[in-house]
Every structure is written in structure tokens, then in C-alpha cells.
Amino acid sequence: MDISVIIPTFNRAASLDALLGDVRNQSTSVAFEVLVVDNGSVDGTRAVVERHAASDARIRYLHEQRPGASNARNTGVAAATAPILAFLDDDVRPRHDWVESVARAFVEHPEVDCIGGRVEPRWPCPPPRWLTPAHWPPLAVQIARGTSKYIDREHASACLITANFACRSAVFRELGGFAPEFRRDEDREFNLRMWRSAKRGMFVESVVAVADIQPERLTKRYHRAWYHVTGASHARLHYLDNIDHHGRLDAALAANSRVWFGVPAFLYRECGAHVANWLKCVLMRRWSAAFFEECRLRYLASYFMTRWREPPARTGTLERTDSWGRSPS
């Protein structure tokens, strides 16, 4: 096999059925296998996979009872046989040349360890006027990742999301798998682990998948909740502590900053800047921009509160894990 396609899934039999149809009908001469990892579904997921597998020997059904996409992906990684591991979420639809584009990207760029592709939105209805591209992060789409050719230690603020992601299997053998203790942002945690180990990634425009945007994601209520949860998750990663204003991963950044209640002082200054921007936008009646600033403030507030509650001994550290992201006993 040239590529192992790994699809974790949970109770999405209908969308998985369409996805497997797209993967089976790829326009490519690349040899690939498809590993569908059922993460404890109680709908017709297994029947859908077995129906496709009955007529396509490239498809295999795997079961992982431990909850969490990280556990499911790690099961797929352990069973994969190819040197390139490509990941899709169960609610996206890959373009007809997706497998071919993944293979071509690694041939044309032997210097990269991983790639992330485009995840384009398919809207259920016209989006509200306030939902500009600045508000797209909660939609789980991936349209652009900055102006740098590479994403690495020097360009670490962007995240290559696992909805459309591929990586050399050697990276997993060296660094271990996805961390199950992160039920959210496990892709960002894995990204940061790669950049700290001098790995290099790239955003590839030609590797395309489409995601159906769920209607609830078009509401401000959803966006407020997403930023609150993401702020807490990033606090556990100590993400903002280590990314400077140029987007570089800098382990000395927090160490060289004054710390107030477990939070580097420069983050309080950043919060103050967002407060000022929010007031300015409200006074100028720029409501979409004002909502963006409000969301950033909710994110920072959640980040601060999580860190304030964190025991001092764990500040600046992450729990060590074994080769597949499991906490040692």
C-alpha cells in the first residue's frame, strides 16, 4: 500500500456511507487501504462499513471502544500498513482526486513530514451577514493557513486539522500517537509536538474535502460556547504561553515573562487590547467585528480561569504519555 486512509467514526452512518462511496471512487492509480474505526457507535455504522467492504477489499472495519477520536485514530495508526497515513473525519466528502493529491504532495515535497488540505464549507442555507471568514474557526473548515510555505516551529500558530490531514507513518513511530487526554484540540497538540521536534508541515490547496456545515454552527450561541471550550483546551496545552506575536513557537516566552496567578503578564495586556477594540467597534456600530472581539474575550477569559484553577506544580507542563498517547500507569 502507498497510503492508509484512516476514518474514525461515531454514530454517523449516513454521512459515512456517502464518504466511503467517494473514497472507493477515487480517480487514482495509487494503492491505498481504508481503515474505518468505529468508536462505539450504536447506529448502523458497522453494517454500512461491512456492505462496502464486501465489494471492496481495500476497506477494513476496526472497533475501538475507548471513547475519543484520539483513541480511534491511534487504533487506525497501529493497524495501518502504508508509509503515508491520511485522515478524514466522518462528516466530510473528499474530492475525486483526493488520494492522488495526497500522494503527489509527498512526492513533490519530500522535505515535509505532514500536510493539511482544504476543508471547504457547504452551507445548509445562506450564512448570516455577521458570519464573515474571521468567524469561520468554529465551523471546522480549513481554507488558508497563513502566508508561509511551511508550518513548523517558526510558523506554529496555524493548525493542520485532522479532518483532512496526512502524515508520514515514521512520525508516529518517533513521537507517538494522538493524546487521548485531549478530547478536543488533539490535532493541535500533535502539531505542537511535531514542531517542537523540528518536523515540518505544509498546507496544500489541491488536497480538497468538503464539510457540511451543521445549522447550529450558524448561531452566535454556538460560537460563544465554542470559544469558551476552546479557551479552556488551549489553556491545558499552554498554547498562548509559547507562541509569540510572530507566530513562532518559543519555549522561553513564558519563562521570560512575569507571571500573575499562573498566567504570563503579556496575555493580560492582550486581553486589554481586545477590550479596547470591542469598545471601539461597538461605538462605530461595526457589529460583526465587535462580535469577533467578544469571542476573543470569551476565549481569553476561559483560558485565564482554567489556568487560575491549575495546580502550580503543573504550570508549563503536559502530562507525559507513552508511544500511543496513553498516560503511563
Where do the domains of the chain lie, and which CATH numbers do they carry?
Answer: 3-215 (3.90.550.10), 222-314 (no CATH)
CB 169 within 8 A of CB 82: yes
Strand order in the sheet with 32-38: 59-63, 32-38, 3-9, 84-88, 164-168, 114-122, 201-212, 92-94
| Region for residue 32 given its phi and psi (left: phi exceeds 0; alpha: psi -120 to 50; beta: otherwise) | beta
Cβ contact 155:146 at 8 Å: yes
- Whether the CB-CB separation of 45 and 9 falls below 8 Å is answered with yes
Compute the average pLDDT of residues 124-151.
92
Phi-psi category of residue 177: left, alpha or beta, with phi > 0 → left and psi -120 to 50 → alpha: beta
Determine contact, residues 77/131, Cβ cutoff 8 Å: no
Q: Which triple of cell numbers denotes residue 310?
A: 491549575
Task: Return the DSSP state at 206.
Answer: E
Closest CA to 41 of 67, 77, 15: 67
Q: Single out the residue of 115, 268, 328, 266 nearest to residue 205, CA to CA.
A: 115
Closest residue by Cα to residue 303 from 276, 329, 271, 272: 271
Task: In whole angstroms, give the CA distance from residue 273 to residue 210.
Answer: 35
Closest alpha carbon to 65 in 86, 41, 31, 47 = 41
**What pLDDT, in 10s, does the model give residues 97-130?**
999 999 999 999 999 999 999 999 999 999 999 9
**CA-based torsion, 298, 304, 305, 310: positive or negative:** positive
> Cell triple for residue 176?
507517538
pTM equals 0.89
pLDDT in tens, 202-257: 999 999 999 999 999 999 999 999 999 999 999 999 999 999 888 999 877 767 77
Q: 153-201 pLDDT, tens per residue?
A: 999 999 999 999 999 999 999 999 999 998 889 999 999 999 999 999 9
d(CA 55, CA 143): 34
- pLDDT classification of 312: cutoffs 50, 70, 90: low
Nearest to 35, CA basis, from 64, 68, 14: 64
Q: Name the DSSP letter for residue 182.
A: -
Among 58-67, 74-83, 143-152, 320-329, the minimum mean pLDDT is found in 320-329
